[in-house]
Amino acid sequence: MLLRILDRFEEVLISVLMAVAVALIFVAVVHRFSLGAAADLVGYARSHEMTGLQSAARSVFKAINSIKLTWAQEACIYLFVWMAKFGAAYGVRIGIHVGVDILVERLKDPAKRIVTAIAMSGGILFTAILVWIGTDFVYHVRLGGQTSPDLEMPMWIIYLAVPLGSALMCFRFIQALYLYLTTGYIAHHDLSSVDGVEEEAKDVAEGGHG
Amino acid sequence: QDAITIKFSHVVAPDTPKGKGAQKFKELAEQYTEGKVKVEIYPNSQLYKDKEELEALQLGAVQMLAPSLAKFGPLGVQQFELFDLPMLFANREELRKITDGDVGKGLLAKLEDKGIKGLAYWDNGFKIMSANSPVITPDDFLGLKMRIQSSKILEAQMEALGAVPQVMAFSEVYQALQTGVVDGTENPPSNMYTQKMHEVQKHATISRHGYLGYAVIVNKAFWDGLPEDVRANLEKAMAESTVYANGIAAEENDKSLEAMKAAGTTEFHEMTDEERAEWLEVLKPVHEEMSDRIGADLIQQAYQAIGTN
Amino acid sequence: MTALIIFLILTVLLLTGMPVSIALGLTVFSFLFAFTEIPMDSIALKLFTGIEKFEIMAIPFFILAGNFLTHGGVARRMIRFATSMVGHWYGGMGMAAVMACALFAAISGSSPATVMAVGSILIPAMVKQGYPPQFGVGSIATAGGLGILIPPSIVMVMYSVATSGMVVTGPDGQPVLSASIGTLFMAGVVPGLMLASMLGATTYFRAKKHNYPRMARADWRERWLAFRESVWGLMLIVIIMGGIYGGIFTPTEAAAVSAVYAFVIAVWVYKDIKLREVPKVLLSSAAMSAMLLYIITNAVMFAFILTSEQIPQTLSDWIVGLGLGKIGFLLVVNIMLLFIGMVMEPSAIVLIMAPILYPVAVKLGVDPVHFGIMMVVNMEIGLCTPPVGLNLYVGSAISKLGLTEVTKAALPWLATALVFLMLITYVPEITMFLPHLLGMN
Ligand code: NA
Ligand code: NA
């Protein structure tokens, strides 16, 4: 039960971070584009001495310009830093992290089992080290009192993504190792899955357009 | 006995004023301490990038840096944003009254809480405005998208001029100017020239409206742990390299400006006194507006030191 | 010596089959622990700052945009348009397959997805028409590689990210600016079209030789209808390239805008994806992006170790000292990349090898943009070479042919791609023509 909540949380978190980042940058682009257009209109009105239009355009410009989005890029970066750390943990669960498996695929069973277990333990070890040095780092940054330049957010909160994400990832590696040792199952993500190809293929084969 | 090693890391090329200043310091430091100190220079962000180097210094991974003054605000010493205020110094003499005086020393002392010891101020230079349309009077800025580095003061400055500030990494600026994602930017002439921005900017006004500088800093624990005589010799080496570095910076800016004028791709406008007055009128309120961040007292102190108000 | 130790550790770790990102990270830690006095803390820094760059964020955005449009329905529209244009030539469906891959590549930054989308629709249809399955799978597995050469391309973003900020000097000792994402994308267009034409030509001549069936010539009405259907998807590349070149946005912003565009087209225009399926697309895109960003973070750490041990410089001096010259060096690079491409995936190769090879290339007078495209073409070929070649795997899965047979089937097209690689390597004008024409540096 608790585990299912964790799974769900992980999925929702990274999807939402992705969606928010896209929306934010899209809005920032539209914002800049409309500012440019309003300013051009002011310039046009000024050069054609249309005072009415000029002041109207000026107030439109001022209205759009009162929304400040200089922080959008920085926010986008931090959203993606969080997405990357937690997404990497989710990636362990679904087996998206690829390695070079040509040797392992050629091994016979006891050896194969041992090498695969070593590979997974490597993941546990690495992420555990990250939890340790990440926590230490966050602690130091917190003492230093640094803030981000645009949002002026405390940096330690942003950097918390590393120890937290790594802890989750470490847990996922342990889970994967346990699953492998008990059932022999390894999650494997299909990098080339495409929705809707079967239907289209069937239709084309039956003589549809294509 | 092993020599004491100082790793001096910076983010620019060895042949820039800062790079040459670092080299000078290395020579003098090794000479004055008679080889007790060895200085290793890591230019070009070889070890640490712009965003990382302060943390690396605090962690003791490097001993000496020369970051841009704008880096100290996010570190928690917002008073350093004083240097970003537009039209604060009219010229180099006025600047020196701050950097060589009590205000400058007081600011460096504030870094000690952060485990940093400030040794000296090194110039990059005074900034000029460039764009693809003439930027002579404040009215010319209306709606122009101007690239700035992250800074609330610079944001306020561009807004006061009627421009739209855009935060953008230095490495992206050339292409952004070329394609027109942004219309203009501000830079000391030497930066503008080394990044070849004059190729993609039609107009520039030699406004010298703002200052860009660095502080040479060391890890405080490391510095305090040095033998007294070594420290004294290093201070002497630093003082001489500072004069040297600032001399080169001024020279470099003049040369870059001449080179860009000779290239003929940008039309340079020398700001007149009347224009300066106009700019001052719209930019001076930024000082007031930002006094909450920087400290009204500090701004007053600076005015007094310079002799303006 | 140090270089040897580092690469030995990395190779051993990689051979256990652990994720490339983890192997890179553990290499760094074990090297630090055993051989140096660099404090661990200073490495921790790289874990945080490694991906703190707005340019890198183009990767998740492009992946999202591609995923919205990577759908059977979109591939089908591309195929219909391609068939209407070239279906009546020799090897009609094969030609259409190559063209459809090129069109699909303009939407997707991923090669395997291109093979899957075009292949799973066309290969069964081709078999039904009397083509041997080998013909279809050979052409599509290779043409699918266009996904990373024709923009948008994740591998190009990786190259730009891996080399930007490196201060390198040319033969004259003057600093050289690194390749921007925008310029790389622009530079990929002509080579992409050229490779598509060459693969098409190979298809044509093989079909002519074996007298494979041709299709009836489509009339202009059908062509127009097919075009109108596929144009919504193809507008994506117009928005990206036009937007970057026209100064409307930076590459990262272009990627974000194209993701929003792809979402609107997929949900409301093509109606291939229902609104309730959008979270699924977001999730799979986030997972894929996170995986790549994780490799980047650890590759940055790895590059830091290499740099602080002065390995790129030493290697650079050594190679320049060998006196291979530009021609010899590029040949060695190609052989090396093709060899590594046999066993590793493109993103990791670019992130590990670019920081090492790039300074040497520039020193010998190779343009950063040209070198980037050359690397991308190598990666593309690597996707189609055994034993590890994703495009081959996908081809094998679709066609139910064994890996060896798919590899053999792909040989004629692979040989074409190798000829193309030589052209790209030694005729830089092919790459640089468009960027220069547009005045991009
Ligand atoms: Na593509
Ligand atoms: Na391969």
Residue A161: per-residue pLDDT: 94
C17 and A115 Cβ atoms separated by less than 8 Å: yes
**Whole-number average pLDDT of chain C:** 89
Residue B78: per-residue pLDDT: 92
**Whole-number average pLDDT of chain A:** 89
Per-run averaged pLDDT (10 residues), chain B, 309 residues: 85 84 94 92 80 85 91 91 93 93 94 94 95 94 91 93 88 87 93 89 95 95 94 95 94 94 94 94 94 94 87
Could you tell me if A206 and A111 lie in one domain? Answer: yes
- For residues A36 and A210, which has the higher predicted lDDT (pLDDT)? A36
Residue A144: per-residue pLDDT: 82
Residue C129: per-residue pLDDT: 83
C-alpha A23/C-alpha C256 separation (Å) is 8
pLDDT by residue (tens digit) across A57-104?
889 988 988 888 989 999 999 999 999 999 999 999 998 888 887 788
Residue A147 lies in a domain: yes
Could you tell me if A122 and A186 lie in one domain? Answer: yes
Q: Which ligand is nearest to the CA of C385?
A: 2
Number of separate domains in chain A: 2
Residue C378: per-residue pLDDT: 94
Could you tell me if A128 and A201 lie in one domain? Answer: yes
C-alpha C270/C-alpha C335 separation (Å) is 44
Give the gap in angstroms from C-alpha C391 to the nearest C-alpha of chain B.
34
Could you tell me if A209 and A113 lie in one domain? Answer: yes
Residue B76: per-residue pLDDT: 87
Q: Which ligand is nearest to the CA of C102?
A: 1
Confirm whether pTM is higher than 0.95.
no
Residue B106 CA, distance from chain mean position: 18
From ligand 2's centre to the CA of C165, what distance in Å? 29
From ligand 2's centre to the CA of C387, what distance in Å? 6
Residue A146 pLDDT grade (very low, low, confident, very high; cuts 50, 70, 90) = confident
pLDDT by residue (tens digit) across C380-400?
999 998 888 888 988 888 888
A43 to B75: CB separation less than 8 angstroms, yes or no: no
Residue A107 lies in a domain: yes
From ligand 2's centre to the CA of C338, what distance in Å? 8
* Alpha-carbon distance values, A187 to A83, A93, A184, B117 (Å): 21, 7, 10, 52
Could you tell me if A60 and A152 lie in one domain? Answer: no
Structural domain of A31: 1-69
Could you tell me if A114 and A41 lie in one domain? Answer: no
Could you tell me if A103 and A190 lie in one domain? Answer: yes
Residue B272: per-residue pLDDT: 94
Return the partners of chain C (3 or more C-beta pairs < 8 Å).
A, B
- CB proximity C405 to B under 8 Å: no
Q: Which burial class, exposed, middle or buried, applies to A157 when counting CB atoms under 10 A from its CB (0-12, 13-18, 19+)?
A: middle
Q: Show the 3-state SS of chain B.
A: CCCEEEEEECCCCCCCHHHHHHHHHHHHHHHHCCCCEEEEEECCCCCCCCCCHHHHHHHCCCCEECCEHHHHCCCCCHHHHHHHCCCCCCCHHHHHHHHCCHHHHHHHHHHHHHCEEEEEEEEEEEEEEEECCCCCCHHHHCCCEEEECCCHHHHHHHHHCCCEEEECCHHHHHHHHHHCCCCEEEECHHHHHHCCHHHHCCEEEEEEEEEEEEEEEEEHHHHHCCCHHHHHHHHHHHHHHHHHHHHHHHHHHHHHHHHHHHHCCCEEEECCHHHHHHHHHHHHHHHHHCHHHHCHHHHHHHHHHHCCC
Residue A206: per-residue pLDDT: 66
* SS3 category, C197: helix
Residue B1: per-residue pLDDT: 60
B188 and B148 Cβ atoms separated by less than 8 Å: no
Residues of A in contact with B151 (CB under 8 A): 149
Residue C372: per-residue pLDDT: 96
Residue A187 lies in a domain: yes
pLDDT by residue (tens digit) across B216-263?
999 999 999 999 999 999 999 999 999 999 999 999 999 999 999 999
Residue A18 lies in a domain: yes
- CB proximity C307 to B under 8 Å: yes
Could you tell me if A123 and A42 lie in one domain? Answer: no
Residue B254: other Cβ atoms inside 10 A: 13
Percent of chain C surpassing pLDDT 70? 99
B61 to C183: CB separation less than 8 angstroms, yes or no: no
Could you tell me if A55 and A112 lie in one domain? Answer: no
- CB proximity C267 to A under 8 Å: no
The total number of residues shown for chain B amounts to: 309
Could you tell me if A57 and A110 lie in one domain? Answer: no
Residue C26 pLDDT grade (very low, low, confident, very high; cuts 50, 70, 90) = very high
Residue C322 pLDDT grade (very low, low, confident, very high; cuts 50, 70, 90) = confident
pLDDT by residue (tens digit) across C209-224?
888 877 778 888 889 9
Residue A198: per-residue pLDDT: 75
Return the partners of chain B (3 or more C-beta pairs < 8 Å).
A, C
Residue A80 lies in a domain: no
C252 and C260 Cβ atoms separated by less than 8 Å: no
Q: Which ligand is nearest to the CA of C69?
A: 1
Q: Which of A49, A69, A89 is the last residue of a domain?
A: A69
Could you tell me if A124 and A175 lie in one domain? Answer: yes
Residue C167: other Cβ atoms inside 10 A: 17
Is C112 a residue whose pLDDT tops 50?
Answer: yes
Residue C309: per-residue pLDDT: 81
Could you tell me if A44 and A116 lie in one domain? Answer: no
Q: What is the mean pLDDT of residues C368-378?
A: 95
Residue A210: per-residue pLDDT: 46
Give the gap in angstroms from C-alpha B160 to the nearest C-alpha of chain A.
12
**For A75, phi and psi rounded to 5 degrees?**
-60, -40
Is C252 a residue whose pLDDT tops 70?
Answer: yes
